[in-house]
Amino acid sequence: MLSYTSAVTIALDATPLTVSTGGVGRYTLELALALAAEYPNDQYWLLSDQVFRPPTALPPNLHTGEGPRNQAERKWWLWGLEREMLRRGISLFHGTDYSVPYVPLRPSVMTLHDLSPWMDPIWQPDAIRVRRRTPRLLRMGLATMIITPTEAVRRAAIERFGLQPDRVVPVPLAASELFRPVVPPVTTPPYFLFVGTREPRKNIARLLDAWREVRQTSAIDLVLAGRVRADSPAIPEEPGLHLLGEVPDSALPALYCGALACVYPSLYEGFGLPVLEAMQCGALVITSRDPAILEVSHGAAMYVDACDTSALAEAMRAVAAEPAKFTGLRERAVARASEFTWRDTARRTREVYDAAARLFSHS
């Protein structure tokens, strides 16, 4: 049985690391690093049937697996993953992205980041396997315990999938220590900033419309930073609009700190990591009243109805007119962000692992 007093070997699904950027990949890597640092006697393995690029320097107790070794092991979730875990002596598996092994030979934990795959097909057109597979895994009880990033997602998941409440635990994410207040370079003209993957639920079309309204009376630019998903509509160039695409993490703090505000009018989130990153940098955040974002930001941001373009434009105009008026809100943002750390996330996650081991041993 897992316990805090004995060393264990735990595997995390590394498949999210096959994508260059994104919240799930950031979650997987930051959690693995924090677990390895907080529990140095444990051994952690990042496993996937796909090629992924781990950081160049891993702590001595965080390792990467080899993936399938033969044709049979390419049936990863049914057979290959089990063989790899046997080779590595794995005690528990953490599915960081909606999945766990199909054969429950050891305790497992599944992270349900949000319910977007089941809410609007246009939001996640490539998530067909998740839409079909994850509910079956949950109904069959193959995930011993389930983690959600917020209480909002926990409640929604329990209702939608009929989950046992005592087996679903909210464990918040955190922003990397990289995100902190810095002195940004002086930029002219001033700009609003959006950071995140360009995809339909991020509501970028309304953000563009709102910004264009503001720009009619104020010479303020808009910067969009983040990976462009294949199904994202092309955005034509226009004066004042800067389409940066993917930006290295090291460049984001200066972008956040230099912006009049980080604008994040998402239609739906499970956590809203860019909001927390911006807050930790001391940036003013204008965002939607999504339940998860409200839970995370906890009054330390400006809120608008995500479907109200005029209200979004009005909030942006208010910030453009009197930036100094919102100094107190920026200070509250930094204070709120300080309540989230990856160390705390690792500790809470490790408690869920322990609970999963206890449940599995009695099943």
Neighbours of 10 (CB within 10 A): 24
DSSP E strands in 166-269: the ranges are 168-170, 191-195, 221-225, 241-245, 261-264
Give the architecture (CATH level 2) of 191-337: 3-Layer(aba) Sandwich (3.40)
CB atoms within 10 A of CB 267: 17
Query: What are 61-84's pLDDT values in tens digits?
Result: 999 998 888 887 888 888 899 999
Residue 58: CB atoms within 10 Å: 15
280 half-sphere exposure, CB direction, 13 A CA radius: 22
pLDDT for position 340: 98
Cα–Cα nearest to 15, from 85, 60, 65: 65
* Residues in CB range of 14: below 8 A, 6 or more apart: 28, 46, 47, 48, 52, 54, 64, 65, 96
Instruction: Please report which confidence band the pLDDT of residue 50 belongs to, taking 50, 70 and 90 as the band edges.
Output: confident
As given in the structure block, the two tokens for residue 141 are 């009880």
Q: Note the Cα 128 to chain centre separation in Å.
A: 20
One fold for 9-174+341-361 and 191-337: yes
Q: How far apart are CA 110 and CA 125, in angstroms?
A: 22
Give me the mean pLDDT over the 307-335 stretch: 97
Query: Domain boundaries in the chain?
Result: 9-174+341-361, 191-337
Residues 132-156: pLDDT tens digits?
999 999 999 999 999 999 999 999 9
pLDDT digits (tens, 9 = 90+) for 276-308: 999 999 999 999 999 999 999 999 999 999 999
pLDDT digit string (tens) for 152-179? 999 999 999 999 999 999 999 999 999 9
Q: For 233-279, what is each residue's pLDDT tens digit?
A: 889 999 999 999 999 999 999 999 999 999 999 999 999 999 999 99
Report the C-alpha gap between 315 and 306 in whole angstroms: 12
Task: Note whether 278 and 195 are within 8 A (CB).
Answer: yes
**Cα R_g (the chain), whole angstroms:** 21
Looking at every residue in the chain, the average pLDDT score rounds to: 93
Judge whether 283 and 262 are in contact, CB under 8 Å: yes
Give domain 9-174+341-361's CATH architecture: 3-Layer(aba) Sandwich (3.40)
